[in-house]
Amino acid sequence: MARRSVLFTPGDRPEMCRKAPGSGADVIVFDLEDAVAPKRKAEARETVRDVLSDPHFDPDCEVCVRVNAIDAAAGTAPADDLEGLLGDGEDALESLMLPKVDSPDDVRALVDELDNYDASLPVFALLESAAGILAAPEIAAVPAT
């Protein structure tokens, strides 16, 4: 499927998550990162898991989740999001988006976490720094990207 349009939806807004497939976008992204206040991260994970595991949720587009970046200062990590997401709803989840990727090791760390769940998903690496841009060829060479 071509990825011509991408719609981001805050993960803590169940009504928006459920309406997103009707937008006509090729990819819908349930955002657990910047669109969600730090105090609402757990609620957003639960909301996204509930939507993904709903048997009536059957979108005609790719479903992606933007997980939180590894950020020791903020106390966030993709592992927290995966723990809340994978299980009942992973069948509807088709890809992950990893923000603030600076090196191939960032993507590999996410892939290693996915291995803990016996899950294999494509990863969209978001390059948001000069370091990420300079490492772009190496990041793109990681098999999951």
pLDDT of residue 8: 97
pLDDT of residue 106: 94
pLDDT of residue 87: 66
Return the SS3 of 77: coil
pLDDT of residue 77: 76
Question: β-strand 6-10 against 27-31: which pairing, if any?
Answer: parallel
One digit per residue, pLDDT tens: the chain, 145 residues?
678 999 999 999 999 999 999 999 999 999 999 999 989 999 999 999 999 999 999 899 999 999 999 776 666 678 889 987 886 555 789 999 999 999 999 999 999 999 988 889 999 999 999 999 999 999 999 998 8
Q: Which of 68, 75, 142 is nearest to 105 (CA)?
A: 142
Spatial separation of the C-alpha atoms in residues 72 and 141, rounded to whole Å: 26
Measuring CA to CA, how many Å separate 129 from each of 75, 121, 135, 141? 20, 24, 10, 18
pLDDT of residue 72: 60
Q: Which CATH architecture has domain 6-140?
A: Alpha-Beta Barrel (3.20)
Contact 62, 104 (CB under 8 A): no
Considering the entire predicted model, what is its pTM? 0.91
Question: Domain extents for the chain?
Answer: 6-140
- Contact partners, residue 143, CB within 8 Å, separation at least 6: 111
Contact 117, 49 (CB under 8 A): no
